[in-house]
Amino acid sequence: MSDKKPMLAVEEALAAILANVSPLETEDAPLAACYGRTLARDIAARRTQPPSALSAMDGYALRAADAARPLRVIGESAAGKGFGAVCGPGEAVRIFTGAPVPPGADAVLIQEEAERDGESLVARGQVKAGDNIRDAGVDFTQGAIVLGAGRRLGPADVALAASADHATLALARKPRVAVLSTGDELVSPGAPRGPDQIVASNAFAVLGLIAASGGEPLDLGVVGDRLDQIEAAIQRARAEKADVLVTIGGASVGDRDLVRGALAREGMELSFWKVRMKPGKPLIHGHIGPMRVLGLPGNPTSAAVCGHLFLKPLIRALSGDRFAGADRSEPALAGAALPPGGSRREFLRATLTADEEGRMIATAHENQDSSLSSVLAYSQALIVRAENAPPAPAGTPVRVIRLD
């Protein structure tokens, strides 16, 4: 595998990762399994909502033209059990929120403005036609497209699909993403470890990011710095029909950084290696047959930043998200002075607060060492610093990417 591939800018790397990515095959899923996933086909309403005119308040249904004279209450309309007859001239029907407005009535007098004595009713306020009535179809009508293909579904979207009378939705299959951690120094949490070993933790952040992005994570565990072990794990990912293989560590230039060599021996076609960013420069991208490969750096922050910038959009693109590659940065103000930037784009871990005017304030942590998991855990965002950016005093406008 050649080391002469050019070092790409962040935007170039993301474009290469998302190039020729098509949504995976479609499957039907029950509504409860649709949260955070992407709709594969347009959803048309199977019913009109509301199906008839409904009362928006508790009160009395009547003819607005009759409101100035005494009225006779002739019945009651409740949600799910309408009055079932016509409200004629000089008549009123006791009605509750969500109940069908009886034929003949064109307004609802709220109960706070009504005086009732037995079956006799007097309106204390003015009443206009249409008052406190939700018209039939005001939400949507049968046959209307209520949700479009490519939309990532949140709770309100799923509720809308249910209201439109859909029990299942057509979704792109969840991408299967295999995660492999490498390094002789790594042991699993809780396992015995030698004096020079550390606990493997990066995979848990990456596996969680995969699940939160709509993917199906597959943990391949930890393998040592042995070519045969790494190759066996890559072969397992292929056998498990992973859509994406994510490796963590072993992607740099040291004698014991064997991942790139193992991937090459397994037939990986390299797209790029190295991105002009800090942290996260040694990022591998390629594919082995249909399986895409993303090799993340071994430092915790480097792996997490690359995961947010590149792995999350890849998973969402495979899921059919129309906006997978969109710029997710937001405006904020620097909460503390920022030093001059270097020759690579920098992503500084930061906390988010708001000032008295409600503006977002992003304050970079003083220690930006990429090995510090604790700093990453207490960060809500990354401050994006352009290449060779000048020093920035507190209050300078910046762009941030939320670490949701």
Distance (Å, rounded) from C-alpha 64 to C-alpha 68?
8
pLDDT band at 253 (very low <50, low <70, confident <90, very high): low
Per-residue pLDDT at 3: 56
Q: Say whether both 123 and 156 belong to one domain.
A: no
Per-residue pLDDT at 1: 47
In a domain, 324, yes or no: no
Residue 218 has pLDDT above 70, yes or no: yes
Residue type, 218: L
Per-residue pLDDT at 71: 98
Q: Say whether both 394 and 306 belong to one domain.
A: no
Q: Say whether both 251 and 383 belong to one domain.
A: no
pLDDT in tens, 340-392: 999 999 999 999 999 999 999 999 999 999 889 999 999 999 999 999 999 99
pLDDT in tens, 195-205: 888 888 899 99
As given in the structure block, the two tokens for residue 307 are 């995961």
Per-residue pLDDT at 4: 63
Q: Say whether both 240 and 182 belong to one domain.
A: yes
Q: Say whether both 184 and 194 belong to one domain.
A: yes
Are the beta carbons of 115 and 121 closer than 8 angstroms? Answer: yes
Q: Say whether both 264 and 306 belong to one domain.
A: yes
In a domain, 3, yes or no: no
Q: Say whether both 278 and 183 belong to one domain.
A: yes
Strands 71-77 and 120-123: antiparallel
pLDDT band at 259 (very low <50, low <70, confident <90, very high): very high
Q: Say whether both 120 and 197 belong to one domain.
A: no
Q: Say whether both 19 and 35 belong to one domain.
A: no
Q: Say whether both 289 and 202 belong to one domain.
A: yes
How far, CA to CA in Å, does 400 sit from each of 4, 232, 324? Answer: 32, 39, 17
pLDDT band at 192 (very low <50, low <70, confident <90, very high): confident
Domain region containing 246: 10-25+173-318
In a domain, 5, yes or no: no
Q: Say whether both 265 and 308 belong to one domain.
A: yes
DSSP secondary structure code for residue 237 in this structure:
H
Per-residue pLDDT at 28: 97
Residue type, 298: G
pLDDT band at 183 (very low <50, low <70, confident <90, very high): confident
Are the beta carbons of 330 and 359 closer than 8 angstroms? Answer: no
Strands 345-354 and 277-278: parallel
